Amino acid sequence: MRIAVVGASGMLGTAVVAAAVAAGHDVAATSRSGRIPDGVPTGYEAFAADVTSGEGLPEALRGADAVVFAANSNKRPADVLVGGLMRTEKIMSSSALLVLPSIVNCDKLRGAYYEAKSVQEEYLGHVEVPVIAPRITQFHEFLGAILSQAARWRLSLRGSFTVQPVAVAAAAESVLASTVAALDHGPLPQPDVAGPERLTATEMSRIWGAAHPGARVPLRVPGRMLSAAGPDAMCPSNDAAVIVGEAFSSWCRGSVGATQG
Ligand X SMILES: NC(=O)c1ccc[n+]([C@@H]2O[C@H](COP(=O)([O-])OP(=O)(O)OC[C@H]3O[C@@H](n4cnc5c(N)ncnc54)[C@H](OP(=O)(O)O)[C@@H]3O)[C@@H](O)[C@H]2O)c1
Query: Can you give the binding site for ligand X, defined by CB under 6 A?
Result: 7-13, 31-33, 50-52, 70-73, 80, 84, 101, 103, 117, 136, 138-139, 142
Q: In the bound complex, what is the minimum distance in angstroms from residue 21's beta carbon to ligand X?
A: 16
- Which of residues 168 and 180 has its CB atom nearest to ligand X in the complex? 168
- Which of residues 139 and 251 has its CB atom nearest to ligand X in the complex? 139
Q: In the bound complex, what is the minimum distance in angstroms from residue 157's beta carbon to ligand X?
A: 16
The full DSSP string for the chain is -EEEEETTTSHHHHHHHHHHHHTT-EEEEEESSS---TTSPS-EEEEE--TTT-TTHHHHHTT-SEEEE----SSSHIIIIIIHHHHHHHHS-TTSEEE--EETTGGGB-SHHHHHHHHHHHHHTT-SS-EE--EE--BHHHHHHHHHHHHHTTEEEE-S-EE--B-HHHHHHHHHHHHHHHHHH---PPPPEE-S--EEHHHHHHHHHHHS----EEEE--HHHHBSS-TTTBS-SSTTPEE-S--HHHHHHHHHHHHH-
- Which of residues 185 and 235 has its CB atom nearest to ligand X in the complex? 235
- Which of residues 10 and 245 has its CB atom nearest to ligand X in the complex? 10
Q: In the bound complex, what is the minimum distance in angstroms from residue 13's beta carbon to ligand X?
A: 5
- Which of residues 125 and 213 has its CB atom nearest to ligand X in the complex? 125
- Which of residues 25 and 117 has its CB atom nearest to ligand X in the complex? 117
Q: In the bound complex, what is the minimum distance in angstroms from residue 215's beta carbon to ligand X?
A: 28
The residue whose Cβ lies closest to ligand X is 10
Q: In the bound complex, what is the minimum distance in angstroms from residue 104's beta carbon to ligand X?
A: 7
Q: In the bound complex, what is the minimum distance in angstroms from residue 98's beta carbon to ligand X?
A: 12
Closest listed residue to residue 160, CA positions, set 218, 241, 118: 218
Question: Beta partners for 68?
Answer: 5, 99
